[in-house]
């Protein structure tokens, strides 16, 4: 929605509110008139009800008197019914009056009338009883002495109530007349003020709308030209020197146009410089990309050679590790053989010692056989001396001597065999000692060889680890070089894209229409400052 329309709606809303206020005032006056009219109607209705009450009292008094003069039951009942009917009319009119609302003075009147009504009701019943008994004198006495005075009092109170209502009606009439005068005067003033406000508001709305929409139209025209790239024309109305927001808007647009002119000129020069620099960067990036690809190819070949070297060294290290394990096994076997040979030497020494002990025992056995032979010889001599009696003993002695001779011969043979065995055992012990010394030398040499092979295996493992690290470093270098090559290609592509975009920027900036060179240089300096 345009500003002019919005301003018109705003002022129209103000006028509408003013019209509503005027209408409200008029309606309020009409409501006052209606209230006064209602009060007047209420007063008239109250006067009519008071008149009805008065007529009911008068007619009921006539009915009661007639009832006292009747001599027939039917006539008495008729007059009694008439009196009751009039009594009800009186009470209905009274209830209506109370329902309409009464003031303090009227309430005092009604209080006195209520007291009179109660007394009249009692006397009325008394007069009805006498009339029903055809006691005319007594009924007349009640009517004249009791009911008539009360009736006069009731009539007097009704007159007082009517007087109060007349005074109230006069007050209402005076208020209505005054309200009517005030209403006519208020309506006249409101109408004059409304016409004046309408005229001034319309004129002010037109002037204010014109003062706002005209600069805004200039601003819209200027922004349309700037949107089309025309920065050569000045902003119309920017030099009128106003202090309102519209003048500030035009001045701001003029500053924006000057700033955009300087900015576009600077951008145009910068775009040309960027295009030149982008071309140079694109050429350098292409050269760098080719050199980086060559370097990446060389590093890739080096990495392949290092991988083969690593495989060979790894194979040597595995072989050295296996030889180390075999040397360790041989060293263990040699050590175990040395231990066995030491046990054999100890066993041979024990056999030699046992052989010497056996020889000693055989020598003892030989001595015992010799002594047994001497004893057998002595026994034979003694048996020969004994003669016939010692012949059996001589036979035994001969057998014992024979056994002793065989034992001695066996002991000699055993001793000879034990001597030979001892000699052989001593020779074997000597040979075993020599073999143990040789095996100990072999164990020492095998242990030295195992140590050397372990050193070779350790060196091979360290060499393998070093070559693996070198290979990893070359692989990382190869990856970095590949990334550099990719980045160089991306940089070349980006530089070429930048060159194309710079050319597009030069074309886009060339679509702007700039002021003359003098004005442009001035605005460019102002913008750069």
More confident residue, 371 or 2: 371
- Locate all alpha helices (DSSP H) within 70-103, ordered by sequence: 73-100
- CA gap 113, 56 in Å, rounded: 14
Predicted local confidence at residue 160, as pLDDT: 75
**Selection from 176, 178, 180, 184 nearest residue 40 by Cα:** 176
Answer whether residue 464 shows pLDDT above 60: yes
**pLDDT, tens only, 100-123:** 766 677 777 777 877 877 887 777
Specify the 3-state DSSP secondary structure of 77: helix
pLDDT of residue 524: 45
Domains of the chain: 3-209 (1.20.120.30), 259-528 (1.10.287.950)
What's residue 4's pLDDT? 58
- What percentage of the chain carries pLDDT values higher than 90? 0
The kind and range of the H/E element at 288 are helix 245-386
The model's pTM is 0.31
Q: What is the pLDDT of residue 458?
A: 83
pLDDT at 361 over 50: yes
Q: What is the mean pLDDT of the chain?
A: 73
What is the maximal distance between C-alpha atoms in the chain? 226
| Tally of CB atoms within 10 A around 339 | 13
Average pLDDT over every residue of 163-178: 70
3 neighbors 212 (Cβ within 8 angstroms): yes
Q: List beta partners, residue 513.
A: 230
Identify which has the larger pLDDT, 1 or 369: 369
Name the least confident of 39-43, 163-167, 206-210.
Answer: 39-43
Predicted confidence (pLDDT) per residue in 296-313, tens digit: 777 777 777 777 777 876
In terms of Cα–Cα distance, which of 258, 274, 277 is closest to 528?
258
Q: What is the pLDDT of residue 442?
A: 76
- The pLDDT assigned to 515 comes to 67
pLDDT of residue 342: 74
The total of other beta-carbon atoms located within 10 Å of residue 378's CB is 11
Kindly state the average pLDDT of the residues 328-337.
74
Structure tokens at 182: 């005030």
- The total of other beta-carbon atoms located within 10 Å of residue 518's CB is 8
Tens of pLDDT, residues 228-249:
777 676 766 666 666 667 667 7
Size of the chain, expressed as the number of residues it contains: 529
% of the chain exceeding 70 in pLDDT: 73
pLDDT of residue 529: 46
CA Rg, the chain, in Å? 79
User: How far is 172 from 283, CA to CA, in rounded Å?
Assistant: 109
Residue 123: partners with Cβ closer than 8 Å, 6 or more residues away: 142, 146, 147, 150
pLDDT digit string, tens, across residues 121-131:
777 777 777 77
CA 382 centroid distance within chain: 137
DSSP class per residue in 14-61: HHHHHHHHHHHHHHHHHHHHHHHHHHHHHHHHHHHHHHHHHHHHHHHH
Predicted pLDDT at 412: 79
Q: What is the pLDDT of residues 82-102, one digit of tens each?
A: 877 877 887 787 788 777 766
Tell me what pLDDT residue 527 has. Answer: 43
Q: What is the predicted pLDDT for the residue at 526?
A: 47
Q: Mean of the pLDDT values across residues 419-440?
A: 76
Q: Would you state the pLDDT for residue 170? A: 73
Please give the average per-residue pLDDT across 516-520, as a whole number. Answer: 55
Number of H helices, E strands in the chain: 8, 0
Highest mean pLDDT range out of 257-261, 287-291, 360-364?
360-364
């Amino acid at each position: 929605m345009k500003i002019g329309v919005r301003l018109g709606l705003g002022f129209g809303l103000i006028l509408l509110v003013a019209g509503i206020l005027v209408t409200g005032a008029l309606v309020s006056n009409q409501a006052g008139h209606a209230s006064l009219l209602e009060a007047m109607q209420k007063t008239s209705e109250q006067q009519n009800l008071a008149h009805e009450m008065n007529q009911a009292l008068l007619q009921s008094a006539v009915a009661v008197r007639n009832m006292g003069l009747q001599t027939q039951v039917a006539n008495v009942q008729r007059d009694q019914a008439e009196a009751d009917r009039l009594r009800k009319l009186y009470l209905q009119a009274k209830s209506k009056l109370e329902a309409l609302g009464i003031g303090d003075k009227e309430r005092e009147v009604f209080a006195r009338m209520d007291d009179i009504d109660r007394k009249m009701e009692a006397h009325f019943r008394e007069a009805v009883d006498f009339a029903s008994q055809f006691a005319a004198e007594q009924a007349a006495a009640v009517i004249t002495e009791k009911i008539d005075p009360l009736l006069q009092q009731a009539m007097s109170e009704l007159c007082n109530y009517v007087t109060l209502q007349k005074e109230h009606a006069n007050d209402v009439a005076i208020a209505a007349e005054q309200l009517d005068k005030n209403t006519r005067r208020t309506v006249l003033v409101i109408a004059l003020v409304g016409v004046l406000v309408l005229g001034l508001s319309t004129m002010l709305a037109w002037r204010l709308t014109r003062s706002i929409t005209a600069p805004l139209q200039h601003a819209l025209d200027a922004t349309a030209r700037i949107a089309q790239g025309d920065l050569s024309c000045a902003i119309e109305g920017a030099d009128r020197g106003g202090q309102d927001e519209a003048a500030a808007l035009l001045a701001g647009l003029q500053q924006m146009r000057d700033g955009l002119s300087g900015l576009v000129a600077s951008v145009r020069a910068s775009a040309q410089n960027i295009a030149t620099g982008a071309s140079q960067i694109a050429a350098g990036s292409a050269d760098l990309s080719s050199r980086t690809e060559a370097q990446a190819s060389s590093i890739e070949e080096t990495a392949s050679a290092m991988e083969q070297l690593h495989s060979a060294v790894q194979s040597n290290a595995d072989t050295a590790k296996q030889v180390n394990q075999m040397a360790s096994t041989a060293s263990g076997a040699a050590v175990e053989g040395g231990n066995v040979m030491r046990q054999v030497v100890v066993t041979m020494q024990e056999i030699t010692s046992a052989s010497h002990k056996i020889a000693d025992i055989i020598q003892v056995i030989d001595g015992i056989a010799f002594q047994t032979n001497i004893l057998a010889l002595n026994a034979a001599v003694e048996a020969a001396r004994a003669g016939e009696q010692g012949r059996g003993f001589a036979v035994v002695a001969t057998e014992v001597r024979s056994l002793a001779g065989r034992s001695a011969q066996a002991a000699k043979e055993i001793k000879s065999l034990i001597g030979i065995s001892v000699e052989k055992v001593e020779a074997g012990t000597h040979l075993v000692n020599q073999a143990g010394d040789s095996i100990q030398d072999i164990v020492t040499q095998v242990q030295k060889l195992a140590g050397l092979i372990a050193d070779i295996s350790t060196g091979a493992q360290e060499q393998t680890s070093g070559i693996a690290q070198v290979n990893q470093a070359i692989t990382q270098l190869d990856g970095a070089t590949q990334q550099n090559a990719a980045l160089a290609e991306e940089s070349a592509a980006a530089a070429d894209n930048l060159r194309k975009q710079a050319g597009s920027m030069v074309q886009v900036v060339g679509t702007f229409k700039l002021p003359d060179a003098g004005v442009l240089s001035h605005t460019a300096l102002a913008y750069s400052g």
